Amino acid sequence: MPPSADRLIDRLAEGRALKIWQRAADAAATADLASLRTLRSRARRTQRELDRLLATAESRLALPHVGSNAMHRPLGADWLWRPEPWRLQVSPRGQAGLDRRIEFAPGVALFHDCPLQEIALRQERNSRAGDLAPFGLVLEVLGFEGSFLSLALDLPPGASDGLQRRHVLGAEIEIEAERPLPIFARLNVKNGPNTEQIPAGVALGKGAVVEFDLAYSKVNEKRVEKIWLDLIFEKPAQNAIRLRDLTMSRRPRAEV
């Protein structure tokens, strides 16, 4: 049977069911009590399934749409980007007992030097009111005896196309932790044989903005090859860190 015929049958069945319940509602005022009890029982069974369907539908439809690129655009921004793990479902959704380097998604890797490997990284669905990113990342650390733990994000070519020292690169990060810990962001710009590194602190909370002003760097505009961002977590033991959203932007520096 062709799909169009299936859809027609479904619509006809739905129409018949609706008319049956409309007639039952009209007859409820004059029906005898025995018939009314039977109708009530049938209506309650139907209502339970309808309520279950509606609850699931409302919950799913309230979530940010998978693949959504809805972002806050800074004034004058000429480039915006949200990394894949915050935008699309990745597979596998989580990894535990991580080696010293693990590629979680294309261009997204976790690095550490802890021999215990009591580290897990997973993707979770965002569902809070106001969430713009469809997904977030959760980093869980038990024992930690290493000297560093960082998440590295390779920026796409659009970030470096036409890049000049008059540009400001910004990262808007929504990050939470079970216990406060120092977090730093470091922008790395490979230009020829050199890599310029610009560090900045990251505040916990909603919509923390970190800016990297290239005017104060020694970046050779003509030799930019690659840009990546490191998120560095200090003293992460016995903690769960949620990165609910992360977006990058680029804008020209205001002329003085």
Q: What is the CATH number of the domain that holds 229?
A: 2.60.120
Same-domain check for residues 148 and 187: yes
| 102 and 19 in a common domain | no
Question: Is there a single domain that holds both residue 91 and residue 41?
Answer: no
Taking only the tens place, the pLDDT of each residue in 92-109 is 888 887 778 889 999 999
pLDDT over 90, % of the chain: 52
Whether the predicted pLDDT of 250 surpasses 90 = yes
On the question of pLDDT at 231 being above 80, the answer is yes
Most confident option among 27-36, 156-165, 232-241: 232-241
Contact by Cβ (8 Å): 152, 185:
no
Checking if the pLDDT of 6 tops 70, the result is: no
Same-domain check for residues 85 and 165: yes
Please indicate, yes or no, whether residues 83 and 109 belong to a single structural domain of this protein. Answer: yes
Rounded to whole angstroms, the Cα distance separating 108 from 119 reads 16
Q: Residue 37's CB: how many other CB atoms inside 10 A? A: 11
Span 71-92, pLDDT tens digits: 788 888 999 999 999 999 998 8
User: The tokens of 155 are what?
Assistant: 């920026």
Any domain includes 101: yes
Alpha-helix runs per DSSP H in the chain: 3-27, 33-62
Of residues 39 and 243, more confidence is placed in 243
193 belongs to a structural domain:
yes
pLDDT at residue 91, rounded to an integer: 87
Is 22 within a domain? yes
Average pLDDT over residues 134-159: 94
Under a CB-based contact definition with an 8 Å cutoff, are residues 84 and 106 in contact?
Answer: yes
Do residues 121 and 202 share a domain?
A: yes
Q: Is residue 67 included in any domain, yes or no?
A: no
Higher pLDDT, 51 or 1: 51
Q: Is residue 246 part of a domain?
A: yes
pLDDT at 138 over 90: yes
Q: Tell which of 62, 93, 113 closes a domain.
A: 62
Query: 125 and 56 share a domain?
Result: no
State the burial class of residue 217 (Cβ atoms within 10 Å of its Cβ: 0-12, 13-18, 19+): middle
Are residue 121 and residue 176 in the same domain, yes or no? yes
Q: Does residue 146 share a domain with residue 218? A: yes
Q: How many domains does the chain have?
A: 2
pTM of the predicted model over 0.95? no
DSSP 158: G
What pLDDT sits at residue 256?
53
User: Would residue 144 count as lying in a domain?
Assistant: yes
* pLDDT given for residue 58 in this prediction: 60
Residues 163 and 236 placed together within one structural domain of the fold: yes
Written as six digits, the tokens of 162 are 């036409």
pLDDT (0 to 100) of residue 47: 84
Structural domain boundaries, residue 45:
3-62
Residue 94: which residues within 8 A CB-CB, separation 6 or more? 120, 121, 122, 123
The whole-number pLDDT of residue 71 equals 77
Tell me, yes or no, whether 68 lies in a domain.
Answer: no
Residue 30 within any structural domain of the chain: yes
Please report the pLDDT score of residue 102 as a whole number: 87
Nearest alpha-carbon partner for 36 in 45, 47, 25:
25
pLDDT value of position 49:
82
Residues 100 and 204 in one domain: yes
Same domain, 136 and 164: yes
